[in-house]
Structure 1
Amino acid sequence: MKRLPLATLLAIFLGWLLWAVSVRQAVLFAVGLGLGAVLAGQRFGFTTGWRMLIEDKDASGVMGQLLLLALAAAMAMPLLGHFPELTAALGPPSVSLLVGAFVFGLCMQIADGCGSGTLYKAGLGIPMNAAILPLFALGSFLGSMHLGFWLDLGRAQPVGLVNRFGWQQALLITLAVLAVVAVGVRWYARRAQRPQGTQPQPLLVRRWIVGAVLLALLATLNLVIAGQPWGVVYGFGLWAAKLAQASGAADLAGNWFWSQPGNAARLQETVLLDVTSITNIGILGGALWVSAGKPVTAKALTGTQWAVALVAGLLLGYSSRLAFGCNVGAMLSGISTGSIHGWIWVPLAFAGTIFGLRIRRHFGF
């Protein structure tokens, strides 16, 4: 589809949201369109950035992500401090988090996308990610069904830096840790490149910087409008849960996760009232607009590669629910709003990524 007719359809849907749903949901859809356009237009991939660092010793993607985290924290933490009605992306340190983050990091390299990456690449028309998307949703739903069991294995109360120290000190702590990580990443990349006799890769690349600035601004808009940080995974699980409930495939009334008051209420509402779902739909629309009229070429996969990728997609969804988010919900939103669980998520997911890359190479992706 060409951009003009697609833009017309998106504008009509936006107008319908304004008229039939709410102004807030219409604006959040517009924010989602922006998120999708930036992710797809700048090819700002969290999965790709990590892979570049490990395989190519190219730190530019991770540096872009660190810039994104710093900018998002600098905007989100003062807002959280001054407006208590806004909520942080808090998750409990738990066995669930440890297992989920590691498995997620492993599977996202095989599936070539995290939550946001799967969305925008599906919007670009990449067959593997489009096929993984419904399995991601199914996996997220299955993870939600089992989350109570995983949390019973051991958990602590969520810890929020803003609540504990105030937004000023929380921001200083966050920026200091991000600076230390940036120094470590720079040292690793320079040291790894030196024996090869090659010119060092640039640490700052325009597409990553532009993407970081725009995503930080849009994530902050999402926080202000939705009252909660940007997330992806919850929407996927909700879509599958509503299908399971409508078809009678699962009894959700007695489930620990879906019997929580907020989750139970969302099951009874249209998905268009869910803030995560509406931004997810917007991300798909924004990526579609970027790819409109531009055929996407993707590597043909063997039957074995398809099977491995689809299993990874299912586990990607399952583990994301256990880990209380993906690179967006756990890492970006968690760290930028001061949640300790975000800092626990990152090293475990990165460790999983190292193993995931080995599996990726083994199967020739």
Structure 2
Amino acid sequence: MLVTGLLIGIALGFVMQRGRFCVTGAFRDLWVTGNTRWLTAFLIVIAVQSVGVFTLDALGVISLSSSPFPWLSTIGGAFIFGFAIVLAGGCATGTYYRAGEGLVGSWLALIFYALFSAVSKTGALAPAVTAIRGVTVEASTVHGVLGVSPWLLVAALAVAVAALARHHLRRRPAAPMATLPARKRGIAHLLFEKQWGAFSTALVIGVLAILAWPLSWATGREAGLGITGPSSNIVNYLVAGDAEVIDWGVYLVIGILLGAFIAAKASGEFRVRIPDALTTVRSIGGGALMGIGASLAGGCTIGNAMVNTATFQLQGWVAFGFMIVGVGAATRLFITGPSKARLAAAGQGSASTASEHESMRS
């Protein structure tokens, strides 16, 4: 059954690479241009998954539970993680799929993200992380705090997201971009040449996120999509050789890397790209901070901002908000603030850096 994690991961990596679905760009767009199109796409994933997950829970396929809310670590860790993904040039899944495209900067960010996730969860920083995460309040879910049925929140979220999507779909389309003549036909053209839409990509990811729950539970891993824990487990396995840490989630993240490579190779987008010195330093530092921040917050943009939000966990929604704040702080410091010109002079504006830190297509 573990192989289902690999299959879901391959599909997820493929879809994210072809759809350019990196959450960093969605959050950064809010601060740079005020554009909410990709944030709306991200919310579509949450809304679709929420409907599916609570349906699975109602049918008894899975059983949702909650625990006290570690508010202090969630706030601090989410801010650190949000700040770090701007440095690294991508969130956790964005780093995985860009590594599959051949971006060496993403390879470095991914290595240090996994390493410092392990250091924070089971290594030298684990006691400090555990202590900070021990500062909790009993409240755990939004519907629990409000004293309402979670279905009321599911319905409200679905209506709000549908309204946002309708707003974007009704806007006057921009002038079409010039494209090369199609070289493939039929399904091959749709999969590997045609530009994928933000909302259609989000719908597919939402379905995959729903499927992850029962498939993961069938193996004894009672969770949905997750990146930080499995990345940490890979490091622990390589260091200690403990095969018990190789679970459904590990197969998932390996699959994401493979799926992204398949998509990039088949679409002609795979190319090994060496970063300049500044991007290298930022990728390493960003990856390390990602691992620490995600461990403190209890998850990354997937585990917290996409999965825990879908089940209306307070940890998920608070982390979602503070990740956006962290992205805003880093954007101000490195992209739109006074240091922009200085960084550009140091090489930030080079073609290598642009490829490493490209925004998602809007």
- Which digits, 9 at most, give the CA deviation of each residue in 1:157-209, with x for residues without a partner? 361357764442342354467579x49x98xxx9xxxxxxxx8979xx96111
The alignment partner of 2:20 has SS state of coil
Paired with 1:312 and 1:233, the residues of 2 have a C-alpha distance of 14
CA-to-aligned-CA distance 1:30-56 (integer Å, 9 cap, x gap): 111110110001111111122223213
**Which residue identity does 2:320 align to in structure 1?**
V
Gaps of 5+ in 1: 1-23, 191-198, 247-266
Match for residue 94 of structure 2?
117
Q: Distance in 1 between matches of 2:334 and 2:104?
A: 17
Following superposition, the deviation at residue 127 of structure 1 comes to 1.1
Answer yes or no: is 1:46 the counterpart of 2:23: yes
State the one-letter code of the partner of 1:217: V
Residue 148 of structure 1 aligns with which residue?
130
* SS of aligned partner of 2:39: helix
Match of 2:320 in 1: 346
* 2:205 is the alignment partner of 1:215: yes
Question: Which residue is 1:72 aligned to?
Answer: 49
Amino acid in the other structure paired with 1:230: L
Where does residue 280 of structure 1 map in the other structure?
253
2:308/2:316 contact within 8 Å kept: yes
Instruction: Answer yes or no: is the 8 Å Cα contact 1:52–1:58 preserved in 2.
Output: yes
Residue 333 of structure 1 pairs with residue 298 of structure 2 = no
TM-score normalized with structure 1 length: 0.75
Counterparts of 1:279 and 1:130 in 2: how far apart (Å)? 17
Aligned equivalent of 1:16: none
> What is aligned with 2:234?
239
Moved more, 235-244 or 218-227: 235-244
The amino acid of 1:355's aligned partner reads: A
1:92 equivalent among 66, 69, 79: 69
Out of 154-163 and 327-336, give the one that drifted further.
154-163
1:313-324 paired onto structure 2 within 5 Å: 313-324=287-298
Report the Cα distance in structure 1 between the residues aligned to 2:68 and 2:239, rounded to whole angstroms: 26
Query: Is 2:332 the counterpart of 1:355?
Result: no
| Match 2:112 to one of 132, 135, 159 | 135
Q: What CA distance in whole angstroms lies between the structure 1 residues aligned with 2:47 and 2:289?
A: 30
SS of the residue aligned with 2:90?
coil
CA displacement, residues 249-289 of structure 1 (integer Å, 9 cap, x when unaligned): xxxxxxxxxxxxxxxxxx55151xx1211111111111010
Please tell me whether the aligned partners of residues 330 and 342 of structure 1 are also in contact (alpha carbons under 8 angstroms): yes
Indicate conservation of the 8 Å contact 2:16/2:97, yes or no.
yes
Does residue 58 (structure 1) correspond to residue 35 (structure 2)? The answer is yes
Q: Which residue of 2 aligns with 1:103?
A: 80
Point out the more displaced range, 350-359 or 100-109: 350-359
Q: Which moved more, 1:108-117 or 1:286-295?
A: 286-295
Deviation at 1:132, TM superposition (A): 1.2
8 Å Cα contact 1:78-1:167 kept in structure 2: no
Give the letter aligned to residue 257 of structure 2: L
Give distance in 1, aligned partners of 2:215 and 2:61: 14
In the aligned structure 1, how far is the partner of 2:254 from the partner of 2:39? Answer: 26
For residues 278-335 of structure 1, give each alpha carbon's deviation from its aligned partner in whole angstroms, at most 9, with x where no partner exists. 1111111110101125254587643233112211110111101111111110011011
Alignment-mate amino acid for residue 269 of structure 1: E
Q: Which amino acid aligns with 1:69?
A: I
Using structure 2 for the length normalisation, give the TM-score: 0.75
Tell me if 1:224 matches 2:205.
Answer: no
Report the 3-state secondary structure (helix = DSSP H, G, I; strand = E; otherwise coil) of the residue aligned with 1:327.
coil
Q: Does 1:36 align with 2:10?
A: no
Amino acid at match of 1:92: F
Mapped contact 1:90–1:334 kept (Cα < 8 A): no
What SS does the aligned partner of 2:295 have?
helix
For 1:124 and 1:344, locate their aligned partners in 2 and report how far apart those are by CA, in whole Å: 32
Once residues 236 and 30 of structure 1 are traced to their aligned partners in structure 2, the CA distance between those partners, rounded to angstroms, is 17
Identity %: 20
- Specify which structure has the higher proportion of helix: 1
Provide the secondary structure at the position in 1 that maps to 2:302: helix
Report the CA distance between 1:226 and its aligned residue. 0.9
Shift, 1:343, TM fit:
1.0
**CA–CA distance in structure 1, aligned partners of residues 282 and 311 of structure 2:** 35
**Kept after mapping to 2: 8 A contact 1:231/1:325:** yes
Instruction: Specify the alignment match of 1:82 in structure 2.
Output: 59
